[in-house]
Structure 1
Amino acid sequence: MGFLQKQSWLKQHSFSPKRDYEKMGTNAYQNYVAIPNDGTDVWEIDPRNLKFENKVASGSYGDLYKGTYCSQEVAIKVLKPERLNTDLQKEFAQEVFIMRKVRHKNVVQFLGACTQPPNLCIITEFMSGGSVYDYLHKQKGVFRLPSLLKVAIDVSKGMNYLHQNNIIHRDLKAANLLMDENEVVKVADFGVARVKSQSGVMTAETGTYRWMAPEVIEHKPYDHKADVFSFGIVLWELLTGKLPYEYLTPLQAAVGVVQKNLRPTIPKHTNPKLAELLERCWQQDPALRPDFSEIIEILQQIAKEV
């Protein structure tokens, strides 16, 4: 957010305690209760209150640690200082801007961020169950149909919430689905998510090729239906425990998806209604894909029948 934008944003959203308290007393038809603002951002975290325990993962962006913040278990994503170019800072700002507004039981809860370079980090609830990807590939876990449906419904509810708030995730895949200690699955990792532009047009190559909708691969304008395509691939991952197009490089997969209508093979014993949902989610034409509110209904219907 540029300085001027921030100024005008603050103007719209700022409170002067004195002024607002005076108004509260006199103005009975005020349309909301003014909560005074002490001028500090509620989500700005003092690094002195963070304790780092062990490193959980590392990626190109930096490292993920388990730790505590004011004695609650948290995950701390630390951006590598040497990678801190303007692009990464922009992505960081983007992620904080999106996450601080988001609250849903199937979306990993953002707790705050340290925003003073060079130590930029994002603090979220800690998900002790790890990722669905690790469960499938490292623990060689399999989901029986009832638990597969529960996972799929959790993810759909989280995604439906994001879409209702005009947020497109853009990098939906099993590795970005995390499980808590009660096996509730939550959508994570908003590094490349975007608030849908009012024009409704978004272009940019992002996400991971194997999960990516054809319109995204081709740099065409796209919308929230791109996430539905990726969700179809995720459903297939849950069903098979395999990597999509494992015999192809990511680039070959991308070319196949766009030019040859390539899709993963649905196992022949798949529940027919689930197979039909998969096919609909990965339609080439985004308009033919269901949205998540419909997906939730379909999955809940299948769950009733199994």
Structure 2
Amino acid sequence: MPYTKVKRSELQFGRVLGTGGFSTVYHAIWALATARTTQEVAVKRLNAIETKELEIMSKLDHSHIVKLLGVVDEAPDFYLILELCTGGTLRQYLDTFTMKRLPFTQFLDWMKQAALPIQYLREKGVVHKDIKSPNYLITDGNVLKLSDFGLAKEITQTMSNATQSASYPWMAPELLKNLKLSPNYDIFSLGVVAWELWTTDSPFKGLEWQVVIMKVCGENQHLLIPDDCPQPIADLMRQCWESDWGKRPSIDHVLHVIVDTAKAAAARERLINGTWKLEREIGEGEPGKLGWPCGIAVNHHGDVCVADWDAAKIQVYSQQGMHKFSIDTKQGLEPGTYSKPIAVRVSSDGSLYITDKTQFIKVYSPDGVYRERWPAVSPQHKASNAENTVLIGLTIDAKGQILVGEIRQKYVSKHEQDGTHIASIKVGIAPCSLAVTSQGAIIIIVTGENQCIL
């Protein structure tokens, strides 16, 4: 890629964007004399022009690699003028990310964007040699771009002993052992970046570089992959971390796995109002992995509340499928009381109403704090019948009234939100699932009878 020889006087320096082992990067305004205009750029200050870095970068032109725009070579001023990426580094983004996991579609997209420049470099016969999250920059369009080619080498060359201590968590064993630079060196580092994208954590956080070397080289230990990581991605990370570089996957294989995983995720799409909506599979992440989901509702924040029969909990997820918190439905019951949530509904104020196989409706605040319980058995039913009550169906009508289906005695009871009983409706069928139309008609589904009755 062609670049321009620039005079130091054409640059107006601003704040420091970042520092590394051998350079400092500034925000700057470049006054282009020929075009009579200005451009915001990043300027990398060097102790001297690295001819190999300049030679390699001048040959590169890829949408996921930071562009070299110009060079200042006027001793003692040595600068590379680079494309400005306003979103900071990938590591900075992950450090400030507040959720436990990236949305699954974003994870796959960024993992692919991190791999594509490595594929391009491989075709050019170049090893970047410093693949890590601080060297991926983010544009204002959320595009990842690989930067910092100060350590890059052509594959035919032997490695340089120059390393950066901050890069040890990403370094492959052959470099740590001072062996010849391998063609698959960057694949090892990409596996670490994939781990960062999944966990949003820093690799080997808090460990000194000597300890990292001992773990990776001496003990063949690697980063712990969380149980909720999809199996194809987890397997790919382990393959990338093979100590024998010849057993590591090719970059083409890495991209193939990413694309196949995305296709598998797309196969879980659900048809909503005639359009396909892709979300991460609910329950994919710990600690909210579902056992037996049997009821679902959406609260006033748009969070998804799922009744989990096996865990005796209500699991609450964001719309992206990220687990937020769990509600223990045994709260408010005597020890040993059988409680498995069957249905969950949310009122207009965000309160959660839950039925199970007891005779009570249990009420929780929007944040999952137990409030109270009240009997769904109406005064018109005998106490002896109350012992055999099994509440399943549950809905809330337009007036905010709670309707509960009792399957053994085959009635629907109606209540105010404070538990005050309004009426009991003898329906003569087992009301397993309920809904109410805008006109107030009750729709009942009868399990096992293939009926929907109004």
Q: Same fold (TM over 0.5)?
A: yes
How many angstroms apart in 1 are the aligned matches of 2:169 and 2:220? 13
How many angstroms apart in 2 are the aligned matches of 1:124 and 1:295? 29
Q: Which position in structure 2 is the counterpart of 1:202?
A: 159
Do the aligned partners of residues 170 and 42 (structure 1) sit closer, same or farther apart at CA in structure 2, a change above 3 Å counting? closer
* Residues 3 and 69 in structure 2, CA contact (< 8 A), matched pair in contact too: no
* Residues 174 and 182 in structure 2, CA contact (< 8 A), matched pair in contact too: no
Q: Which position in structure 1 is the counterpart of 2:243?
A: 284
Q: Which position in structure 2 is the counterpart of 1:43?
A: 4
Secondary structure of 2:227's counterpart equals coil
How many angstroms apart in 1 are the aligned matches of 2:86 and 2:206? 32
Q: Is 1:54 matched up with 2:15?
A: yes
Q: Which position in structure 2 is the counterpart of 1:298?
A: 257
Alignment of structure 1 residues 1-306 onto 2, 5 Å: 42-69=3-30, 70=32, 71-79=38-46, 84=47, 89=48, 92-140=50-98, 142-197=101-156, 201-202=158-159, 204=161, 206-207=163-164, 208-306=167-265
| Aligned structure 1 segments of 4 or more residues deviating by more than 6 angstroms | none
Q: Which position in structure 2 is the counterpart of 1:13?
A: none
CA shift digits 1:229-260 (9 cap, x unpaired) = 01101111111122212242111111110111
Larger radius of gyration between Structure 1 and Structure 2:
2
More helix by share: 1
Query: What is the Cα deviation at residue 205 of structure 1?
Result: 5.2
One-letter identity of the residue aligned with 1:77: K
Query: What is the Cα deviation at residue 151 of structure 1?
Result: 0.8
State the TM-score, normalizing by the size of structure 2. Answer: 0.54
Secondary structure of 1:57's counterpart equals strand
Cα RMSD (Å): 1.8
One-letter identity of the residue aligned with 1:49: E
Query: What is the Cα deviation at residue 210 of structure 1?
Result: 0.9
One-letter identity of the residue aligned with 1:242: D
One-letter identity of the residue aligned with 2:215: G
Do the aligned partners of residues 117 and 185 (structure 1) sit closer, same or farther apart at CA in structure 2, a change above 3 Å counting? same
Do the aligned partners of residues 133 and 63 (structure 1) sit closer, same or farther apart at CA in structure 2, a change above 3 Å counting? same
* Residues 97 and 200 in structure 2, CA contact (< 8 A), matched pair in contact too: no
One-letter identity of the residue aligned with 1:151: W
Deviates more, 1:211-220 or 1:58-67: 58-67
More strand by share: 2
Do the aligned partners of residues 53 and 224 (structure 1) sit closer, same or farther apart at CA in structure 2, a change above 3 Å counting? same
The alignment-based identity, stated in percent, is: 28
Do the aligned partners of residues 60 and 247 (structure 1) sit closer, same or farther apart at CA in structure 2, a change above 3 Å counting? closer
Q: How many residues matched? A: 255
How many angstroms apart in 2 are the aligned matches of 1:219 and 1:54? 37
How many angstroms apart in 2 are the aligned matches of 1:226 and 1:270? 24
How many angstroms apart in 2 are the aligned matches of 1:64 and 1:167? 23
How many angstroms apart in 2 are the aligned matches of 1:139 and 1:274? 21
Q: Which runs of 5+ in 1 are unaligned?
A: 1-40
How many angstroms apart in 2 are the aligned matches of 1:201 and 1:95? 15
Q: Which position in structure 2 is the counterpart of 1:5?
A: none
Q: Report which structure shows greater RCO (CA 8 Å, sep ≥6).
A: 1
CA shift digits 1:107-133 (9 cap, x unpaired) = 111111111221000111000111110
Query: What is the Cα deviation at residue 153 of structure 1?
Result: 0.6
Q: Which position in structure 2 is the counterpart of 1:28?
A: none
One-letter identity of the residue aligned with 1:78: R
